[in-house]
Structure 1
Amino acid sequence: MDLPRIFTIRESSHRIHNPFTPGKLAVLGQALHLTPGTRVLDLASGSGEMLCTWARDHGVTGTGVDISTVFTEEARARAAELGVADQVTFVHDDASGHVSDEPVDLAACIGATWIGNGMAGTVELLARSLRPGGLMLIGEPYWRREVPDEETAVACHARSKEDFVALPELIGRFGDLGYDVVEMVLADQDSWDRYQAAQWLNLRRWLDANPDDELAPQVRAELTTGPADYARHQREYLGWGVFALMAR
């Protein structure tokens, strides 16, 4: 049970595995008015940057669950580095079936709603761990502008143009599920650049060090076409944000 190696190669230098900068992650924590002792469950927690920095800055406690052995070990090391290993725990497991033993104050899935087969399923999964009146965080893509064709949609990692919607429609979908959107922090083109462009250097350095690896042809192809494809499609059309929800 693990992520395919290509994911950890692409994001080997990343502490945040989505188009957020450390500054935006800090803004989100401040916007939520987190208080010491807030109990957090973070499904698909990656390298644990959200839990670790919020434990340091706001005194939260909690658990992160992720399917990647590499990212889980990085999260544990980050907790030790920041001196919060007694506040947060990281579990290597499939987050798609994880429900907290006790209700939490904040339940999050930041950019991995595939764990619930989509946004609606992930909201339902998180709700099973959330106390009444608690906060839910969902990280989700949306279209920044109208997508001209299916080729552009696929280049933005969608199956079709209908996979994502514009920001107002996305907010409306949360309402349809019975939740108020009470905060949001959105990625911008600069934070997208920091997420995507950093992958190119990771890929190139890995390729130089592993020219005979079985993944080398895939990495070479991705590095050859990826930067221009990103500039042409994803950077212009794909938005992403974290939305704070409360059940009505």
Structure 2
Amino acid sequence: MDLPRSFTIRESGHRILNPFTPGKLATLGQALALPAGTRMLDLASGKGEMLCTWARDHGVSGIGVDVSTVFTTAARERAVELGVADRVTFVHGDASGHVADEPVDVASCIGATWIGDGLTGTLELLERSLRAGGLLLVGEPYWRIDPPDQATVEGCHMRRADELRSLPGLLARFGELGWDVVEMVLADQDSWDRYAAAQWLSVRRWLDGHPDDELAGEMRAELTTAPVRHALYQREYLGWGVFAIMRRPL
């Protein structure tokens, strides 16, 4: 059970595995004003940057679960580096079936709602670990501009335009599912660049060091097309944000 190597090659230079910069991640933590002692569960936790930095900056504790052995190892190393290994734990496992042993104050899935087969299923999964009155954090893409054609849809790594909503449509969807949106921090074009362009450098450095690897052809083809594809499609049309939601009272 692990991610394909292409993922870990592509994101080898990243600490945050989504279109957030460290500044935006810090802004989200500050906006939520989580009290010290807040207990978190982060599904698809990647390299653990959110849990580790929030443990350092806000005194939270928690568990991260991720299917990648490489990312989980990096998360554990980051916890030691920041001096928070006594407060955060990282587990290698299938986040799609993980439920906390005890209800947590905050449950999150930042940019990986495929673990619940989409937004609705992921919210249902997260809520199974959440205490009454707790907070869910969900990272999710949306159409920044409506895609004009199928080429744009596929250029944003989607199969159909209706796989995503507009930002107003996404916010409305949370309400339809019975949740109040109480905070959000959105990526912008610059933070998209930082996420995407850093991958190109990581891939090129890997190719220089592994010209005979069985993945070299695939990664070479990706690097050849990725910059133009990003500029044409993802940068212009695809939005992304983290949304904080709370269950509406019955």
Match of 2:195 in 1: 195
For the residues of structure 1 that align with 2:79 and 2:23, how far apart are their CA atoms?
Answer: 19
Match of 2:182 in 1: 182
Match of 2:208 in 1: 208
For the residues of structure 2 that align with 1:135 and 1:33, how far apart are their CA atoms?
Answer: 12
- Consecutive aligned runs of 4 or more in structure 1 exceeding 3 Å deviation: none
Return the TM-score normalized by structure 2: 0.99
Q: Note the alpha carbon deviations across 1:167-207, whole angstroms, 9 max, x for none.
A: 00000000011000000000000000000000000000000
Matches within 5 A, 1:68-217: 68-217=68-217
Q: Residue 122 of structure 1: CA displacement?
A: 0.1
Q: Residue 113 of structure 1: CA displacement?
A: 0.1
Q: Residue 105 of structure 1: CA displacement?
A: 0.1
For the residues of structure 1 that align with 2:222 and 2:26, how far apart are their CA atoms?
Answer: 31
For the residues of structure 2 that align with 1:131 and 1:151, how far apart are their CA atoms?
Answer: 43
What SS class does the counterpart of residue 42 from structure 1 fall into?
Answer: strand
For the residues of structure 2 that align with 1:191 and 1:103, how far apart are their CA atoms?
Answer: 33
Unaligned runs of 5+ in 1: none
* Aligned residue identity for 2:238: L
Match of 1:238 in 2: 238
Match of 1:10 in 2: 10
For the residues of structure 2 that align with 1:153 and 1:141, how far apart are their CA atoms?
Answer: 13
Match of 2:41 in 1: 41
Q: Note the alpha carbon deviations across 1:29-59, whole angstroms, 9 max, x for none.
A: 0000111100000000000000000000000
Q: Residue 92 of structure 1: CA displacement?
A: 0.1
For the residues of structure 2 that align with 1:159 and 1:107, how far apart are their CA atoms?
Answer: 29
What SS class does the counterpart of residue 100 from structure 2 fall into?
Answer: coil
For the residues of structure 2 that align with 1:33 and 1:179, how far apart are their CA atoms?
Answer: 20
* Aligned residue identity for 1:12: S
What SS class does the counterpart of residue 62 from structure 1 fall into?
Answer: strand
Q: Residue 26 of structure 1: CA displacement?
A: 0.3
For the residues of structure 1 that align with 2:59 and 2:193, how far apart are their CA atoms?
Answer: 30
Q: Residue 158 of structure 1: CA displacement?
A: 1.1
Using the aligned pairs only, state the percent identity. 73
For the residues of structure 1 that align with 2:146 and 2:84, how far apart are their CA atoms?
Answer: 44
* Aligned residue identity for 2:73: E
Q: Residue 151 of structure 1: CA displacement?
A: 1.2
Match of 1:220 in 2: 220
